[in-house]
Structure 1
Amino acid sequence: MAEAEDKDVRARKEREKDELYALDISGVEWQSAPGTEEHEERVEIAYLPGGAVAMRSSLDPDTVLRYTEAEWRAFVLGARDGEFDLEPAPRNGGAAAE
């Protein structure tokens, strides 16, 4: 029974993704963080129907990732919770300090 439910959930999520990527987003309004300049590299997002979000790099505007409302909510909550915080880069080529 659980296996059939998992299969149904996967099929629904795949269908949602297909619908999301089929959307024409040529007229969306892209937004970026306040204080960034046009020439600076930045992440841009656009809000799509149904709470979905599109995201791209300003340096590669033709590559667009799209997220369902649930995926975007999970990402934002994880970011707020520090889930994606970067660790400081190791010094001395990664060798442990002695």
Structure 2
Amino acid sequence: MNYQDVEQALIAFRDKKGWQKYHNLKDLAVSLNLEASEVLEIFQWQPSDHELSDDERQHLEEELADTLIYTFYMCEKLGVNPLDIVANKMQFNKSRHWKTEE
């Protein structure tokens, strides 16, 4: 599945549920933050070298998917492709941080 297919499926799901009215940038940002907190919760009180169980890994994948979904909804609202903005940021970071390594 490419990004455009994912975006279309997410929009169709949102529209079928009637959630468009809740999908403003502020509420999407709040939801993204809440889902990111659920990612962090998986690691709470675990040592840094903790190996995830199969159940924990599955849970982590689900929470990562939720954060990506809200990120994709925000990108759709902004009219940007998330892959493009990541590529742009990587190029910016490369120019900013790799100059001293040359």
TM > 0.5 fold call: no
Structure whose alpha-carbon radius of gyration is higher? 1
Point out the structure with the larger strand share: 1
> If the length of structure 2 is used for normalisation, what is the TM-score?
0.31
> If the length of structure 1 is used for normalisation, what is the TM-score?
0.32
Point out the structure with the larger helix share: 2
Bigger relative contact order (CA 8 A; separation at least 6):
2
